[in-house]
């Protein structure tokens, strides 16, 4: 299928950061909700090959992206945790 090699550069960074950040076993729904919230707060950056992106970025750009991902994931974990508790408290 055409376009199958196009990806959002931030997806794998966010997925990896979530798995490194969340220490306790949490269900997949929580992890996926966190990923969606985090990705929705990051700019879209579509690439065909991640190696191309890494090759053309400066160290400062990589550091900025890493910081943006860390903030987005932290905020997403907080948001999903809070709203998940709200949902269960209403039930």
48, two tokens: 């065909």
Task: Characterize 50-83 residue by residue with b for buried, 16 or more Cβ atoms within 10 angstroms of its Cβ, and e for exposed.
Answer: eeebeeeeeeeeeeebeebbbebbeebbeebeee
Domain range summary for the chain, segments of one domain joined by +: 7-90
- Sequence length of the chain is 91
Taking alpha carbons only, the member of 45, 38, 86 closest to residue 62 is 45
**Residue 50's pLDDT is what?**
74
**Residue 71's pLDDT is what?**
98
**Residue 32's pLDDT is what?**
95
**pLDDT tens-digit profile, the chain (91 residues):** 788 889 999 999 999 999 999 887 778 899 999 999 999 999 999 988 877 777 788 999 999 999 999 999 999 999 999 987 665 545 4
**Residue 75's pLDDT is what?**
98
**Residue 91's pLDDT is what?**
46
Phi-psi domain of 3 (left: phi exceeds 0; alpha: psi -120 through 50; beta: other): left
């Amino acid at each position: 299928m055409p376009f199958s090699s196009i990806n959002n550069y931030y997806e794998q960074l966010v997925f990896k950061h979530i798995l490194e950040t969340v220490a306790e076993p949490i269900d997949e729904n929580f992890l996926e909700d966190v990923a969606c919230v985090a990705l929705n707060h990051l700019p879209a950056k579509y690439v065909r090959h991640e190696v191309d992106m890494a090759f053309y970025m400066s160290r400062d750009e990589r550091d900025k992206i890493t910081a943006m991902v860390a903030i987005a994931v932290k905020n997403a974990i907080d948001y999903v945790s809070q709203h998940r508790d709200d949902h269960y408290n209403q039930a």
